[in-house]
Structure 1
Amino acid sequence: MRDHAQTEEDAEINMTPMLDIVFIMLIFFIVTATFIKEAGVEINKPPAVTAEKKDRASILIAITETDEIWINRKQVDLKSLRTNIEKLHAENPQGTVVVQADARSKAGLMIAVTEAVNDSGVPSVAVSTKEK
């Protein structure tokens, strides 16, 4: 009877290797995760027939239906837009700028935003639309 009780005490499961594996898997998923950038507001994009998919969009600029400009979940005005774009473009020079204009926003504001992007030295600007 005494031998049986002692073997049960010796039969504990060692959790250290399993914790090591879980920790390594956690590090792997954190390192390989991709992060989606968002402008910070919900935009009703206009439809387009000739839409093309663009990769490496590093700066997203959103124009709401009330003509507000948003970058990285922060509202900015048109005067400080060029400075913000230059700072973000310096962090990722290979990325492009994508303008997400609401279907009910003013076209003149979208043109002004596009000109601010061009003045900041970014070589490529795209306008985001939804598929028709």
Structure 2
Amino acid sequence: MNLRRGRHREEPELNLAPLIDVVFLLLIFFMVTTTFVREAGLDITLPESSAARSAAPEAVEVSVGADGTYYVGEQALINRRPETLAKALREALEAGGGEQQRVVVRAAAQAPHQAVVRALDGVGRAGVERVSIATLRAAEEAD
């Protein structure tokens, strides 16, 4: 048995340079292979009409205000859900002669696109097949 007490063993060293190199290479790999999603958006200004109304008097009007509120005829709806619009539209159609009537959806130029789509969804839920889409005249939007 050879026991030497006077000699100290060297502590093992851990070289971190290769580890840091591997981490940087992984970082560069993930940065290069990552795809960035860019969602495209369109700014749409709805047109204004300068002509007189062309809707027949028997048509039921659904108006969409600039803030997204709905009106069936002259009556404002209590919320913006398509179910509420469909119920109010069914009531207006029953009062005016049935589902064979035409429905005109009018939207303000500043009306959100989502509100117009929800209005069309509500018209579809009411079972209406004859739908026209129009815009409000500039003079009507100021009111």
Q: TM-score by structure 1 length? A: 0.54
Unaligned 5+ runs, structure 2? 1-45, 138-143
Unaligned 5+ runs, structure 1? 1-44
Letter aligned with residue 90 of structure 1: E
CA distance in 1, matches of 2:93, 2:134: 18
Letter aligned with residue 80 of structure 2: L
The structure richer in strand per residue is: 1
Query: Which residue of the partner structure matches residue 75 of structure 2?
Result: 74
Moved over 3 A (4+): 53-57
Assess, with a 3 A threshold, how the Cα gap between structure 1 residues 54 and 118 changes in structure 2: closer, same or farther.
same
| Alignment match of 1:123 (pick from 119, 122, 129) | 129
Assess, with a 3 A threshold, how the Cα gap between structure 1 residues 56 and 123 changes in structure 2: closer, same or farther.
farther
Assess, with a 3 A threshold, how the Cα gap between structure 1 residues 88 and 111 changes in structure 2: closer, same or farther.
same
Alignment of 1:61 with 2:62, yes or no, is yes
CA distance in 2, matches of 1:88, 1:130: 21
- The offset of 1:119, in angstroms, is 1.0
User: How many residues align structurally?
Assistant: 84
The structure richer in helix per residue is: 1
CA distance in 1, matches of 2:115, 2:124: 14
| Alignment match of 1:86 (pick from 63, 84, 90) | 90
* Rg comparison, structure with higher value: 2
SS at match of 1:62: strand
Whether the 8 Å CA contact 1:99–1:125 is kept in 2: the answer is yes
Letter aligned with residue 87 of structure 2: T
Root mean square deviation of aligned Cα? 2.5
